[in-house]
Amino acid sequence: MIAVASVLFGFTSCNKDKKIDVEYAVNIEINPYNVINNFTPVLEDDFDMMPGDVLRLRLFIYDKNGSLVDRFESQVADYTKQAHYSGKLPDGEYTCIAMSDVYTPSSGFAYWETNLEDNISTIQINETGYIGSCDKLLGLKMQNVVVKGGSVNTSINLESLTALCVVRFAYIHKYDNLGTELRWSMDEMPDRVLVDGTGFKCICPYSGYWYTLKKIITTDYSADFVKGYAALLPGNNLTSYPLIKIDSDFYTLADPMDYSFNPGQQYAVNIDVEAGTMTIDQTSKCIDNSSYQNIKSNKVLDIVSGNAKLIESSLE
């Protein structure tokens, strides 16, 4: 009888000392609307998703030691749709990193990829090396979540880490020898995102970038310009300059300019082929295309000292 009591007592002590982690429901809504909402399109449908593309929403949850404890991915139709994470976590403090990017499921094409996600100190978000338009916007947000004795319901409103530039080349039909390829070029541009304390850091591990626009071959010169969008990671004092193609070579059209691009801001990059100038301005307004109307002049650009901006000559 005494032996049986001892055994029962032993089992009771074992259960009493064992720690059981209770997990609680955690529900997080990921909302990408503000990634695109703070920008203004030139034309109403400029920000529409391309056929076959979706918006990919991802979530990484890290514990207080920085270790990945859960991850989530969902695909939605566009920036007006949300994704919902539902999981269970024990009491603790967690850091959530949520992101959005455009993705093509049929081919697996994406402008952004993540690496080394297992720890918050090592996670990287890298460009895949493709030059994109407004479909290259990167939505990102870091947010803390605390689980303490009960379920958690919260939302993460993503913001654009990228700046959006409206790039225009004006008076592109004035010169007969101006090639169809027009470039806005940078010697160095950030293409990697790291976690830096409570925020994000964009770095420049590689150099060389250009955003290319194509001159449309047309006989209608009433709107003598071409425009496009360039989504850039933010950076300070980034050097850029326009390049135009004459015959088979590229030439600098205007002097290089240093400019700082901030996250979530929109910029107008206006390149005037006739004047040989480039201006960059922060703006949230649509830019009037009518200011670029021009009549073809039957002239050509001459090359002087490696630049294509100095002399125009009438065709013989």
Kindly give the residue spans of alpha helices, DSSP state H, lying in 230-285: none
From residue 253, give the alpha-carbon distance in Å to each of 184, 187, 299, 309, 311: 10, 15, 16, 5, 11
Give the list of residues 6+ apart from residue 157 with CB closer than 8 angstroms, or none.
31, 33, 34, 141
Domain that holds residue 189: 163-314
In a domain, 8, yes or no: no
Per-residue model confidence (pLDDT) at position 11? 43
The DSSP symbol for 176 reads: T
Alpha-carbon span 189 to 204, nearest angstrom: 6
Beta-bridge partner residues of 127:
112
- Residue 38 in any domain: the answer is yes
Domain limit, last residue, from 160, 176, 191: 160
The conformation of residue 223, written as its DSSP 8-state character, comes to S
Question: Are 175 and 126 in a shared domain?
Answer: no
Question: Does residue 97 share a domain with residue 180?
Answer: no
Q: Are residues 130 and 48 in the same domain?
A: yes
Q: Residue 5: inside a domain, yes or no?
A: no
* Nearest C-alpha neighbor of 194 from the set 147, 164, 161: 161
Place of tokens 């496009």: 228
Same domain for 265 and 198, yes or no, is yes
Same domain, 143 and 178: no
Q: What pLDDT, on the 0 to 100 scale, is given for residue 172?
A: 79
135 phi and psi, to 5 degrees? -75, 0
Q: Is 291 left (phi over 0), alpha (psi -120 to 50) or beta?
A: alpha
> Are residues 156 and 256 located together in one domain of the fold?
no
Confidence at residue 55, expressed as pLDDT on a 0 to 100 scale: 98
Asked if residue 132 and residue 40 are part of one domain, the reply reads: yes
2 found inside a domain: no
Angstrom distances, CA of residue 242 to CA of 124, 233, 234, 235: 31, 19, 19, 19
Is 59 exposed, middle or buried (CB count within 10 Å of its CB: 0-12, 13-18, 19+)? buried
> 303 vs 170, 180, 218, 277, 278, CA distance in Å?
19, 17, 25, 16, 18
CATH number of the domain to which 288 belongs: 2.60.40.2630
pLDDT at 215: 55
> Do 47 and 141 share a domain, yes or no?
yes
Whether 152 and 167 map to the same domain: the answer is: no
> Where does a domain end: 160, 177, 204?
160
Torsional class of 121: left (φ above 0), alpha (ψ -120 to 50), beta (otherwise): alpha
The number of distinct structural domains making up the chain is 2
In a domain, 16, yes or no: no
Give the pLDDT of residue 309. Answer: 44
Residue 14 counted as domain residue: no
CATH number of the domain that residue 132 is part of: 2.60.40.2100
* Boundary residue ending a domain (136, 160, 184): 160
Q: pLDDT tens per residue, the chain (316 residues)?
A: 444 444 444 444 455 555 667 999 999 999 999 999 989 988 888 899 999 999 999 999 999 999 999 999 999 999 999 999 999 999 999 999 999 999 999 999 999 999 999 999 999 999 998 888 899 999 999 999 999 999 999 999 999 999 999 998 888 777 777 777 888 988 888 899 999 888 899 987 666 667 776 655 444 445 567 888 999 999 999 999 998 887 778 888 888 999 999 999 999 999 888 888 899 998 755 444 444 444 444 445 555 444 544 333 333 3
Same domain, 155 and 239: no
Strand partners, 169: 226, 271
Q: Is the same domain home to 148 and 214?
A: no
